[in-house]
Amino acid sequence: MELVSPETVVADPNNPRKTDPARLELVRLSLEKFGFLLPLYATKAGVILSGHQRAVAARQLGWQLPVVFRQKDERDAHGVNLTFNRATNDFRLTDTDHSRLPIEDLFFRLQDLPDAPDPYPCLTMEQWSVGELLSRNVDRFERYAANAARQLAAYNVQMPIVITPGGDVLNGIGRLQEASARRQDMIDCVVLKPDQDAELARFTLNKLSMDFSFSDGFKDVLRNNAFRRARQRRRSLGSGYLFAFGVKRCRDFSIGKHRKELRALYGERLLDFGAGQGDEARILRKIGVKVTTFEPYRASGKKPTVTAGRRSAFRFLKAVSQQLPFSSVMLSSVLNSVPFETDRAHVVTICAALCSPDTTLFAAARSRKDPNWKECSTGIGLGETSSRSARFVLSDEPGLAVSELNADPKIQKYFQPSEFEALFERHFGAVTIGEHINNVTAVCQHPHPVNPARLRKALEFEFDLPYADGRMGLVEEALAAFSKRLGVAL
């Protein structure tokens, strides 16, 4: 830990927190009254990972900053930024909306406190027994906080905890639990002064976090991270392909036995939009179904690249330009991973434009009956595997959750049937909504006439998607292919 001038560090331009002036004033007051109880964290290049608001407040006070510098590349920084936020505060699973703080009351309470005798108490930490602290604070255990702390430990970050002189944990209960899980005997502690207001310190440490507001840069990171992970390979057709058959368990469905039924339902040529690893397309091709795929974010053990995305797009646009008819269009487990509402609308616009009067669009996506959503929204049944992701709910839109903070942060959307219906009825005359194995499903027919302006906007989005190494850059090619297919000038 180093004590440095505020000019030594810079804010992360993709910091997913928006500054609220009233809460920033509370942060400044809390620094005056309690000092830096926890350090800031930054990359070796000086980009802040944790402590953006405290850095601003310290500049206003003319203070130096206690900073722990560490080496993290840009990809890691996107996940660690979210991880620090969840692990620094003693959050419960559903603590995401901080807009209802009693700001005026807190302001007056903090003003009445004496100034901290030491602006930097985090520089004088003490070693305390993990076992003794656990026994004293057992009633404060919070499983989600421990899961978030485990994520932070994966980055090899050992953040201190804040306690009273008697050993009551004011901040860091999850980090204490994680230290115990690692069989750690001692833990670094910042000890509040005996005459300082412990409960007010607890509140300012845990409740003054700013609300999420993803910058354009961070949104692009989340879009790029929508790719289907290498572990998510399929050996059989998924719910998106089998819900129309009423199958109770997808793995029990025999492709060989139902070859004729599959071909009768889906027809001779199928479009798999958002094909993931291409597993289901390969399965269908084995029984003679012609399948065109499009997957802008295909990743084979690595992150998606511009080259791979453009390769898939060129093949797809060739089929579009050749005016190949699609008897069926599939959106199987795609819309869950498209992170933003406007992005999902663009995807459906493009798929609808590819539907002729004889085409049927089949779609399936996880509903809010899915166990992962229940774990996010209520914490019930939070198992060991899922808990390692330390996922949490976003308040930007109903049914949104962020997960995989320790790798490539990913947004998942969990749908209500009414939301799914609204997404498709704008484009189709007949939309049948159903449910299948924790999924909401849609069968869509009789497409409405194409709206050229809406389609152009959708193509400008989809064919200039972001990657870690650039952008797709195929908007003109997409406009030309769709213009030729539809006979309209886009």
Mean pLDDT value of segment 387-396: 63
pLDDT of amino acid 37: 96
Summarised one tens digit per residue, pLDDT across range 417-471 is 999 999 999 999 999 999 998 999 999 999 999 999 999 999 999 999 999 889 9
Concatenating the DSSP letter of every residue in 373-418 gives HHHHHH-TT--HHHHTT--EEESSSTTEEEE-TTSS-EEEE-B-HH
pLDDT band at residue 393 using 50, 70 and 90 as cut-offs: confident
pLDDT of amino acid 145: 77
Mean pLDDT value of segment 97-116: 76
pLDDT band at residue 398 using 50, 70 and 90 as cut-offs: confident
- Kindly tell me if the per-residue pLDDT of 193 is higher than 60: yes
Specify burial of residue 22 (Cβ count, 10 A radius: 0-12, 13-18, 19+): exposed
pLDDT of amino acid 237: 85
Q: How far apart are CA 411 and CA 390, in angstroms?
A: 13
Cα dist from 143 to 130, 131, 213, 440, whole Å: 17, 17, 26, 30
pLDDT of amino acid 188: 96
Is there a contact between 330 and 271 (Cβ–Cβ < 8 Å)?
Answer: yes
- Kindly tell me if the per-residue pLDDT of 376 is higher than 80: no
pLDDT of amino acid 246: 80
Residue 115 DSSP code: P
- Other Cβ atoms less than 10 A from the Cβ of 385: the count is 7
List residues bridging with 471 in a β-sheet.
Answer: 466
Q: Is 9 helix (H, G, I), strand (E, B) or coil?
A: coil
pLDDT of amino acid 269: 94
Rounded (to 5) percent helix, strand, coil in the chain:
40, 20, 40
pLDDT of amino acid 378: 62
- Kindly tell me if the per-residue pLDDT of 108 is higher than 50: yes
Average pLDDT over the chain reads 86
- Kindly tell me if the per-residue pLDDT of 485 is higher than 70: yes
Mean pLDDT value of segment 299-321: 90
Summarised one tens digit per residue, pLDDT across range 126-142 is 999 999 999 999 888 87
Amino acid at 109: R
pLDDT of amino acid 185: 95
Which residue has better confidence, 245 or 198?
Answer: 198
Which residue has better confidence, 387 or 296?
Answer: 296
pLDDT of amino acid 383: 44
pLDDT of amino acid 92: 62
- Kindly tell me if the per-residue pLDDT of 74 is higher than 50: no
- Kindly tell me if the per-residue pLDDT of 206 is higher than 60: yes
pLDDT of amino acid 239: 85
Mean pLDDT value of segment 134-162: 84
- Kindly tell me if the per-residue pLDDT of 229 is higher than 80: no
Percent of all residues in the chain with a pLDDT value above 70, rounded to a whole number? 88
Mean pLDDT value of segment 138-166: 84
Summarised one tens digit per residue, pLDDT across range 20-60 is 788 889 899 999 999 999 999 998 889 898 899 999 999 99
Mean pLDDT value of segment 268-288: 90
